[in-house]
Amino acid sequence: MKTFNNSNGAQSESTLVKYGLIFTAICFLTIMLLVPLITIFIEAFRKGIEAYFLAFNDQYVLQAVKLTVITALIAVPLNLVFGVCASWAIAKYSFFGKSVLITLIDLPFAVSPVISGFVYVLLFGAQGWFGHWLIENDVQIIFAAPGIVLATIFVTFPFVARELIPLMQEQGNDEEQAALLLGASGFQTFMKVTIPNIKWGLLYGVILCNARAMGEFGAVSVVSGHIQGVTNTMPLQVEILYNEYNFVAAFAVSTLLAILALLTLVLKYSLEWKAKKQLEKLKEEE
C-alpha cells in the first residue's frame, strides 16, 4: 500500500484544508450515522434497565423474534444453494446470454421492497392468480408466514450469488480441472477444491444475506397482515410498538436488531480484511 503522507507543497493539501476535510467528514458521519445509532440505545434505556428487559417479557415480542429467526433460517440456506449453483453455472462455462442472466439475478436489488412484497400479493392474494385455488385448498400464503418467507427470499435473492460470481470467475477453472484429471469426481472436486477457495466469499454473502433477511421491513410489511404474535417479524413489531407510543419497547427490540447490524459490520470488516490478505498472498504467488 502506498501512503500519502508526503506534505510537500503542490503534491498534497495544506494542513488547513486537510483538517477541514477530516472535520467535515467526521461531522457528517457522526450526525448522520453515529448519533442515530446511539439514540437507539439511549431511548431503549430511557426508563432504566428494568423497563428495557420488561420489553422482552412480552409474548408478541418473543413470537416476533421466533418468526424472524425461522424466516432467516429458511431464506438464507435457499439463497445460499441458489448462489452456489448460479455462480458455478456462470463462472465455469461460457454460454450465450451470460450477462443478461447476471443482470436478472441482480434485479431484486433494483426493485423497491414495497413492490417486492406486492408482486406476491398479486400471485397469492385473494384476488391473485392462484388466490382462488389457494382458498379452495385452504392454504394461506399472503398475510401468513409463507408470504413473509417468500418476500424475504426475494429481497435477499442476489446476496450470495453476487459475492461468489466475481470470485469464482477470477479463480478460473485450472484447479478444478487439475482435480478432475487426477481422478476426482465432480462432487469431490467441488467439496475439496472449489469450496475451500470460495469459503470466505461464501460466508460474507451469507452474513449480508442474513442481516437483510432479519431486518427487512418494506417487503414483509406488505404481505404480513400485521397480526401480532402470528405474522409479525421483529421490524414489524418495532413499528407496532412505536405506533402504540410504547417507545421504550420499540427501541428495546430495535437494540437487538442494531446489535445484529453491528455484529454484521464487524464480521464484514474482518472478512474483507482477510480477503485482502489472501489477495496479497495470491499476488505474491504470481
* Segment 191 to 230, residues that bind other proteins, using CB under 8 A: 192-193, 196-197, 208, 211, 214-218, 221-222
The three cell numbers of residue 94 are 461460457
Burial of 250 (0-12, 13-18, 19+ CB in 10 A): buried
Residue 104 interacts with other proteins (CB under 8 A): yes or no: yes
Least distance in angstroms from the C-beta of 53 to other proteins: 19
Residue 43 interacts with other proteins (CB under 8 A): yes or no: yes
* Rounded (10°) angle between helices 59-92 and 145-156: 40
Q: Look at the alpha carbons of 203, 205, 207, 209 in this order and tell me if their dihedral is positive or negative.
A: negative
Which value, to the nearest 10 degrees, does the dihedral of the CA atoms of residues 198, 200, 202, 205 take?
Answer: -140
Look up cell 467441488; give the residue: 190
Candidate list 54, 65, 111, 144; residue touching other proteins; CB under 8 A: 111
Candidate list 80, 145, 238, 271; residue touching other proteins; CB under 8 A: 238
Binding mask 124-163 for other proteins (x = CB under 8 A): ---xxx--------------------x--xx--x------
* Rounded (10°) angle between helices 59-92 and 234-243: 140
Residue 7 interacts with other proteins (CB under 8 A): yes or no: no
Residue 232 interacts with other proteins (CB under 8 A): yes or no: no
Q: Return the amino acid letter for 36.
A: P
Q: Which residues are CB-neighbours of 204 under 8 A, at least 6 positions away?
A: 163, 268, 271, 272, 275
Least distance in angstroms from the C-beta of 136 to other proteins: 19
Candidate list 113, 147, 201, 205; residue touching other proteins; CB under 8 A: 113
Least distance in angstroms from the C-beta of 110 to other proteins: 4
Residue 100 interacts with other proteins (CB under 8 A): yes or no: no
CB 91, CB 169: distance < 8 Å: yes
Residue 106 interacts with other proteins (CB under 8 A): yes or no: yes
Could you give the CA distance from residue 83 to residue 104 in angstroms, rounded to a whole number? 13
Q: Look at the alpha carbons of 251, 256, 258, 259 in this order and tell me if their dihedral is positive or negative.
A: positive
Nearest of 172, 127, 165, 144 to residue 71 by alpha carbon: 144
Span 156-195, contacts to other proteins by CB under 8 A? 157, 173-186, 188, 190, 192-193
Span 67-86, contacts to other proteins by CB under 8 A? 78, 81-82, 85-86
Span 248-277, contacts to other proteins by CB under 8 A? 250-251, 254, 257-258, 260-262, 264-266, 268-269
Residue 234 interacts with other proteins (CB under 8 A): yes or no: yes
Comparison of 52 and 154: residue with beta carbon closer to other proteins:
154
Least distance in angstroms from the C-beta of 239 to other proteins: 5
Least distance in angstroms from the C-beta of 192 to other proteins: 7
Could you give the CA distance from residue 22 to residue 9 in angstroms, rounded to a whole number? 19
Cα end-to-end span (Å), the chain: 18
Residue 56 interacts with other proteins (CB under 8 A): yes or no: no
